[in-house]
Amino acid sequence: MTPAIDIRGAWRIYETAAGYTTALRGVSLTVARGEFLAIMGPSGSGKSTLMNILGCLDRPTAGTYLLEGIDVTELSEDDLAHVRASRLGFVFQSFNLLPRATVLRNVMLPLVYSDLPPRERELAAWRALRSVGLPEEHYLHRSNELSGGQMQRVAIARALVNDPAIIFADEPTGNLDTATGEMVMRTFRRMQRRGKTIVLITHDAEVAAWADRTVHIRDGKLFSDEEERRYLAGLAARETAAAAEKDDAHAGANETTPLSPAAPGPSARRVLLLGVPAL
Protein backbone atom coordinates (compact mmCIF):
# COMPACT_ATOMS: atom_id res chain seq x y z
CA MET A 1 0.00 0.00 0.00
CA THR A 2 1.21 3.52 -0.78
CA PRO A 3 2.45 5.27 2.37
CA ALA A 4 0.55 8.24 3.70
CA ILE A 5 3.83 10.22 3.80
CA ASP A 6 7.04 9.55 1.90
CA ILE A 7 9.58 12.36 2.03
CA ARG A 8 13.05 11.80 0.57
CA GLY A 9 16.24 13.82 0.90
CA ALA A 10 14.44 17.00 1.98
CA TRP A 11 16.48 20.12 2.63
CA ARG A 12 15.11 23.47 3.77
CA ILE A 13 17.42 26.46 3.52
CA TYR A 14 16.27 29.95 4.43
CA GLU A 15 17.91 33.13 3.18
CA THR A 16 18.15 35.80 5.86
CA ALA A 17 19.86 39.15 6.25
CA ALA A 18 22.69 37.36 8.06
CA GLY A 19 23.11 34.78 5.28
CA TYR A 20 21.75 31.27 4.74
CA THR A 21 20.26 29.12 7.50
CA THR A 22 19.80 25.36 7.02
CA ALA A 23 16.79 24.06 8.94
CA LEU A 24 16.54 20.56 7.43
CA ARG A 25 19.46 18.45 6.20
CA GLY A 26 18.51 15.63 3.85
CA VAL A 27 15.50 14.37 5.83
CA SER A 28 13.89 11.11 4.70
CA LEU A 29 10.78 9.74 6.41
CA THR A 30 8.03 7.25 5.59
CA VAL A 31 4.74 7.10 7.53
CA ALA A 32 2.33 4.24 6.87
CA ARG A 33 -1.39 4.83 6.51
CA GLY A 34 -3.07 4.60 9.91
CA GLU A 35 0.23 4.98 11.80
CA PHE A 36 0.62 7.16 14.88
CA LEU A 37 4.05 8.80 14.65
CA ALA A 38 5.70 11.13 17.17
CA ILE A 39 8.49 13.51 16.17
CA MET A 40 10.57 14.67 19.14
CA GLY A 41 13.17 17.41 19.25
CA PRO A 42 14.41 20.35 21.29
CA SER A 43 13.72 23.97 20.41
CA GLY A 44 15.49 24.96 17.19
CA SER A 45 15.92 21.35 16.03
CA GLY A 46 13.86 21.82 12.85
CA LYS A 47 10.70 20.00 13.96
CA SER A 48 8.36 22.91 13.18
CA THR A 49 9.97 23.35 9.76
CA LEU A 50 9.44 19.64 9.08
CA MET A 51 5.81 19.89 10.24
CA ASN A 52 5.19 22.83 7.90
CA ILE A 53 6.55 20.87 4.94
CA LEU A 54 4.64 17.69 5.81
CA GLY A 55 1.47 19.78 6.19
CA CYS A 56 1.98 21.44 2.77
CA LEU A 57 2.37 24.85 4.43
CA ASP A 58 5.90 25.18 3.05
CA ARG A 59 8.00 23.60 0.32
CA PRO A 60 11.41 21.92 0.66
CA THR A 61 14.36 23.67 -0.97
CA ALA A 62 15.43 20.29 -2.37
CA GLY A 63 14.10 16.74 -2.24
CA THR A 64 10.74 15.11 -2.98
CA TYR A 65 7.56 14.73 -0.95
CA LEU A 66 4.92 12.17 -1.87
CA LEU A 67 1.65 12.64 0.01
CA GLU A 68 -0.54 9.57 -0.52
CA GLY A 69 1.48 8.90 -3.66
CA ILE A 70 1.19 12.45 -5.08
CA ASP A 71 4.32 14.56 -5.49
CA VAL A 72 3.10 17.72 -3.78
CA THR A 73 6.34 19.59 -4.56
CA GLU A 74 5.01 19.88 -8.12
CA LEU A 75 1.59 21.28 -7.19
CA SER A 76 0.48 24.89 -7.57
CA GLU A 77 -0.48 27.01 -4.55
CA ASP A 78 -4.17 26.54 -5.35
CA ASP A 79 -3.73 22.77 -5.54
CA LEU A 80 -1.85 22.77 -2.24
CA ALA A 81 -4.69 24.73 -0.63
CA HIS A 82 -7.14 22.12 -1.91
CA VAL A 83 -4.97 19.29 -0.47
CA ARG A 84 -4.86 21.01 2.93
CA ALA A 85 -8.62 21.58 2.92
CA SER A 86 -9.58 18.06 1.83
CA ARG A 87 -6.90 15.66 3.08
CA LEU A 88 -5.20 17.26 6.10
CA GLY A 89 -6.22 18.42 9.57
CA PHE A 90 -4.20 20.58 11.97
CA VAL A 91 -4.20 20.84 15.77
CA PHE A 92 -2.05 23.49 17.46
CA GLN A 93 -0.82 24.10 21.00
CA SER A 94 -2.51 27.50 21.21
CA PHE A 95 -5.91 26.14 19.92
CA ASN A 96 -6.32 29.06 17.40
CA LEU A 97 -10.05 29.34 18.04
CA LEU A 98 -12.16 32.44 17.43
CA PRO A 99 -12.89 33.56 21.01
CA ARG A 100 -16.23 35.28 20.36
CA ALA A 101 -17.60 32.61 18.02
CA THR A 102 -19.58 29.64 19.28
CA VAL A 103 -18.03 26.20 19.49
CA LEU A 104 -20.18 25.01 16.58
CA ARG A 105 -19.17 27.94 14.38
CA ASN A 106 -15.47 27.42 15.16
CA VAL A 107 -15.70 23.82 14.01
CA MET A 108 -17.64 24.78 10.87
CA LEU A 109 -14.95 27.27 9.83
CA PRO A 110 -12.92 24.91 7.55
CA LEU A 111 -16.11 24.17 5.59
CA VAL A 112 -16.81 27.81 4.69
CA TYR A 113 -15.34 27.41 1.20
CA SER A 114 -16.83 23.98 0.58
CA ASP A 115 -19.85 23.27 -1.57
CA LEU A 116 -21.87 22.02 1.39
CA PRO A 117 -25.05 23.95 2.27
CA PRO A 118 -25.11 25.57 5.73
CA ARG A 119 -27.27 22.82 7.24
CA GLU A 120 -24.81 20.12 6.09
CA ARG A 121 -21.88 22.09 7.50
CA GLU A 122 -23.60 22.33 10.86
CA LEU A 123 -24.30 18.58 10.87
CA ALA A 124 -20.66 17.83 10.00
CA ALA A 125 -19.48 20.07 12.85
CA TRP A 126 -21.93 18.41 15.25
CA ARG A 127 -20.66 14.94 14.28
CA ALA A 128 -17.02 16.03 14.71
CA LEU A 129 -17.73 17.42 18.18
CA ARG A 130 -19.52 14.22 19.14
CA SER A 131 -16.53 12.18 17.96
CA VAL A 132 -14.19 13.97 20.40
CA GLY A 133 -16.57 13.54 23.33
CA LEU A 134 -17.55 17.16 23.97
CA PRO A 135 -21.03 17.34 25.61
CA GLU A 136 -23.74 18.96 23.48
CA GLU A 137 -24.53 21.63 26.08
CA HIS A 138 -21.24 23.32 25.15
CA TYR A 139 -21.87 23.58 21.40
CA LEU A 140 -23.50 27.03 21.56
CA HIS A 141 -21.06 28.44 24.12
CA ARG A 142 -18.38 30.84 23.02
CA SER A 143 -14.98 29.17 22.84
CA ASN A 144 -13.53 31.58 25.45
CA GLU A 145 -16.02 30.18 27.98
CA LEU A 146 -14.44 26.71 27.87
CA SER A 147 -11.62 25.11 29.83
CA GLY A 148 -8.27 24.40 28.18
CA GLY A 149 -9.09 20.74 27.68
CA GLN A 150 -12.48 21.56 26.18
CA MET A 151 -10.91 24.11 23.81
CA GLN A 152 -8.39 21.51 22.63
CA ARG A 153 -11.22 19.07 21.96
CA VAL A 154 -12.91 21.76 19.86
CA ALA A 155 -9.63 22.27 17.99
CA ILE A 156 -9.41 18.53 17.30
CA ALA A 157 -13.04 18.49 16.13
CA ARG A 158 -12.25 21.37 13.76
CA ALA A 159 -9.33 19.34 12.39
CA LEU A 160 -11.66 16.37 11.82
CA VAL A 161 -14.65 18.18 10.33
CA ASN A 162 -13.49 17.75 6.71
CA ASP A 163 -12.76 14.03 7.37
CA PRO A 164 -9.01 14.30 6.65
CA ALA A 165 -6.80 11.28 6.08
CA ILE A 166 -3.88 12.75 8.07
CA ILE A 167 -3.91 14.82 11.27
CA PHE A 168 -0.90 16.95 12.23
CA ALA A 169 -0.70 17.94 15.89
CA ASP A 170 1.93 20.46 17.02
CA GLU A 171 2.50 20.26 20.82
CA PRO A 172 -1.25 19.64 21.41
CA THR A 173 -0.82 19.09 25.16
CA GLY A 174 1.68 21.90 25.78
CA ASN A 175 -0.84 24.21 27.51
CA LEU A 176 -2.71 21.48 29.40
CA ASP A 177 -2.32 19.81 32.78
CA THR A 178 -1.36 16.13 32.92
CA ALA A 179 -4.89 14.71 33.30
CA THR A 180 -6.31 16.88 30.50
CA GLY A 181 -3.34 16.09 28.27
CA GLU A 182 -3.98 12.37 28.75
CA MET A 183 -7.62 12.88 27.77
CA VAL A 184 -6.50 14.60 24.56
CA MET A 185 -4.06 11.81 23.74
CA ARG A 186 -6.82 9.23 24.21
CA THR A 187 -8.83 11.20 21.67
CA PHE A 188 -6.00 10.90 19.16
CA ARG A 189 -5.86 7.16 19.81
CA ARG A 190 -9.57 6.90 19.02
CA MET A 191 -8.99 8.82 15.80
CA GLN A 192 -6.24 6.36 14.84
CA ARG A 193 -8.57 3.40 15.45
CA ARG A 194 -10.94 5.01 12.95
CA GLY A 195 -8.21 4.88 10.31
CA LYS A 196 -6.61 8.31 10.65
CA THR A 197 -2.86 8.81 10.30
CA ILE A 198 -1.52 10.91 13.20
CA VAL A 199 1.74 12.87 13.11
CA LEU A 200 2.51 14.44 16.48
CA ILE A 201 5.22 17.01 17.25
CA THR A 202 6.33 17.07 20.89
CA HIS A 203 9.28 17.56 23.22
CA ASP A 204 7.68 15.42 25.96
CA ALA A 205 8.73 11.75 26.12
CA GLU A 206 5.56 10.80 28.04
CA VAL A 207 3.40 12.25 25.27
CA ALA A 208 5.51 10.57 22.57
CA ALA A 209 4.99 7.22 24.34
CA TRP A 210 1.36 7.24 23.13
CA ALA A 211 2.57 6.88 19.54
CA ASP A 212 3.37 3.65 17.67
CA ARG A 213 6.80 4.97 16.73
CA THR A 214 9.03 7.89 17.63
CA VAL A 215 11.69 9.60 15.55
CA HIS A 216 14.00 12.33 16.83
CA ILE A 217 15.21 15.45 15.09
CA ARG A 218 18.41 17.31 15.97
CA ASP A 219 20.10 20.03 13.95
CA GLY A 220 17.78 19.30 11.03
CA LYS A 221 18.54 15.55 10.88
CA LEU A 222 16.29 12.62 11.80
CA PHE A 223 17.33 9.84 14.17
CA SER A 224 15.62 6.60 15.17
CA ASP A 225 15.02 5.73 18.83
CA GLU A 226 18.14 3.54 18.84
CA GLU A 227 20.28 6.23 17.21
CA GLU A 228 18.98 8.78 19.72
CA ARG A 229 19.89 6.50 22.63
CA ARG A 230 23.41 6.07 21.27
CA TYR A 231 23.72 9.82 20.78
CA LEU A 232 22.58 10.56 24.35
CA ALA A 233 24.86 7.84 25.76
CA GLY A 234 27.84 9.32 23.91
CA LEU A 235 26.90 12.82 25.07
CA ALA A 236 26.67 11.64 28.69
CA ALA A 237 30.04 9.90 28.41
CA ARG A 238 31.67 13.05 27.04
CA GLU A 239 30.15 15.17 29.81
CA THR A 240 31.37 12.70 32.45
CA ALA A 241 34.88 12.70 30.99
CA ALA A 242 34.94 16.51 30.84
CA ALA A 243 33.76 16.75 34.47
CA ALA A 244 36.43 14.26 35.59
CA GLU A 245 39.11 16.18 33.71
CA LYS A 246 37.97 19.41 35.34
CA ASP A 247 38.04 17.79 38.81
CA ASP A 248 41.56 16.47 38.18
CA ALA A 249 42.77 19.91 37.11
CA HIS A 250 41.16 21.51 40.15
CA ALA A 251 42.71 18.94 42.49
CA GLY A 252 46.16 19.51 40.94
CA ALA A 253 45.89 23.24 41.44
CA ASN A 254 45.07 22.76 45.14
CA GLU A 255 47.98 20.44 45.94
CA THR A 256 50.50 22.09 48.37
CA THR A 257 54.23 21.77 47.75
CA PRO A 258 56.67 21.80 50.71
CA LEU A 259 57.93 25.29 51.38
CA SER A 260 61.71 25.85 51.49
CA PRO A 261 62.97 27.61 54.59
CA ALA A 262 62.63 31.33 54.26
CA ALA A 263 65.81 33.31 53.83
CA PRO A 264 66.70 35.18 57.01
CA GLY A 265 65.67 38.79 57.07
CA PRO A 266 68.04 41.74 57.81
CA SER A 267 67.53 41.59 61.58
CA ALA A 268 68.17 37.86 61.73
CA ARG A 269 71.36 38.25 59.69
CA ARG A 270 72.58 40.93 62.15
CA VAL A 271 72.14 38.47 65.06
CA LEU A 272 73.99 35.74 63.20
CA LEU A 273 76.92 37.96 62.20
CA LEU A 274 77.38 40.12 65.30
CA GLY A 275 76.04 37.83 67.98
CA VAL A 276 73.95 40.62 69.44
CA PRO A 277 70.18 41.02 69.53
CA ALA A 278 68.69 43.11 66.81
CA LEU A 279 67.34 46.38 68.00
Could you list the pLDDT tens digit for every one of the 279 residues in the chain? 899 999 999 999 999 888 999 999 999 999 999 999 999 998 889 999 999 999 999 999 999 999 999 999 999 999 999 999 889 999 988 888 999 999 999 999 988 877 889 899 999 999 999 989 899 999 999 999 999 889 999 999 999 999 999 999 999 988 888 888 898 899 999 999 999 999 999 989 999 999 999 999 999 999 987 877 787 788 788 888 888 888 777 777 766 555 555 555 555 555 444 454 544
pLDDT score for 244: 82
Count of beta carbons in the 10 Å neighbourhood of residue 279: 5
pLDDT score for 278: 47
Give the list of residues 6+ apart from residue 56 with CB closer than 8 angstroms, or none.
Answer: 67, 72, 80, 83, 84, 88
Q: Amino acid letter at 19?
A: G
pLDDT score for 258: 56
pLDDT score for 266: 57
Count of beta carbons in the 10 Å neighbourhood of residue 137: 7
Domain edges within the chain: 5-226
- Long-range Cβ contacts of 99-103 (<8 Å, 24+ apart): 99/142, 99/143, 99/144, 100/142, 100/144, 101/142, 101/143, 102/139, 102/140, 102/141, 102/142, 102/143, 103/129, 103/134, 103/138, 103/139, 103/140, 103/141, 103/142, 103/143, 103/146, 103/154
Q: Furthest-apart CA pair in the chain: how many Å?
A: 121
pTM (two decimals):
0.79
State whether CATH 3.40.50.300 applies to domain 5-226. yes
pLDDT score for 195: 94
Q: Amino acid letter at 164?
A: P
DSSP helix/strand/coil, 170? strand
Instruction: Give the bridge partners for 40, in sequence order.
Output: 202, 216
Residue 247's φ and ψ, nearest 5 degrees, are -65, -40
Pairing of strands 213-218, 221-223: antiparallel
**What number of H helices and E strands is found in the chain?**
9, 10
The candidate with the shortest Cα–Cα distance to 218, out of 19, 17, 67, 24, is 24
